[in-house]
A = this chain, B = another copy of it.
Amino acid sequence: MRTSFFNFFNKCIPMNQIVGWLDFIDYACFSNSFCFVEIEQPISGFAVAKVVDSGHPDFKKGDLVWGRRVGWEEYSLVTTPECLFKIHHTDVPLSYYTGILGMPGITAYFGFYDICSPKKGERVYVSAASGAVGQLVGQIAKLMGCYVVGSAGSKEKVELLKSKFGFDDAFNYKEEHDFDVALKRYFPEGIDIYFENVGGKMLDAVLLNMRFRGRIAACGMISQYNLHQPETIQNLTNIVYKRIRLEGFVVVDYFDQYSKFLDFILPCIREGKIVYVEDIAEGLESGPAALIGLFSGRNIGKQVVKVTDE
């Protein structure tokens, strides 16, 4: 789907009167990169929506879509059709298109396969592991035959990682006084792959525990976004002599491979090989509190807002 130069008045609803899901962990992740918040304008983020009117040849009334640059509002005028994907598979929950079938899913899949270059049997550590991306990375890594440990911020989340997502082990980082000690407990032989979602002190401790030729996919550093002064890192020399590769990536670079991703993930969902957990806040009015909750880890699973019932 490319930018159209025709007049485009594709009115999309974030499922108003039908089903509305607003997704804003994505907004949070990219708040300091390529998303913008205009004063007195709705916050823009990812959403699942239904087309109610369209002047664009690729979209017609009734089409289901997911994509970015949709406002936190009941009805949206979308002028960036290149940011929308049509939804063709509706035998799975529509809200999944804000998560496992949308941006976080693509992030987990390509971040893990493309950036981490995983091999069977390798030792994988995932931080923020119960979040939308983390829970998928862990399950994909398990499907590949890796040893996977995740960290999260509550006993409930840790239990979820082990019982529902099949992680080999998990720990509550809030109960650990020394991340280095914690990581050595779960990875006595070191970490081959770190899927980085948090940054800061955790990254610093991970660097001490990486194995030779380890790979770190820098997906996000959520612990740092709201700090006036970011936490500092002091163990970067490990990158040199351990030949570590630390690489950032952004999901939009993989959007053109969306169909390849769907070919992988849809059968996994249908066959129950990969499960998915969401934390659904009801109603637009619950959005601000849910957004703020992300930064203290209040949510369990992917945080979405249901704008309206179907």
A232 to B244: give the CA distance in the assembly, Å. 18
Q: Dominant SS at the A interface?
A: loop
Check if A241 sits within 8 Å of B237, measured CB to CB.
no
| B-facing residues in A166-215 (Cβ within 8 Å) | 199, 203
Check if B247 sits within 8 Å of A244, measured CB to CB.
yes
A179 to B175: give the CA distance in the assembly, Å. 39
Check if A234 sits within 8 Å of B237, measured CB to CB.
no
**Interface residue from B218, B233, B240 paired with A233 (Cβ < 8 Å):** B233
Take A246-B246, A246-B247 as given contacts and tell me if A30 and B241 are in contact as well, using a CB distance cutoff of 8 Å: yes
Check if A253 sits within 8 Å of B246, measured CB to CB.
no
Interface size, A (range)? 35 or more
Check if A229 sits within 8 Å of B234, measured CB to CB.
yes
A245 to B246: give the CA distance in the assembly, Å. 6
**Interface residue from B221, B237, B248 paired with A221 (Cβ < 8 Å):** B237
**Interface residue from B34, B230, B238, B246 paired with A237 (Cβ < 8 Å):** B230
**Interface residue from B203, B230, B235 paired with A235 (Cβ < 8 Å):** B230
Binding site for B on A (CB under 8 A): 30, 32-34, 199, 203, 218-221, 224-225, 229-250, 253
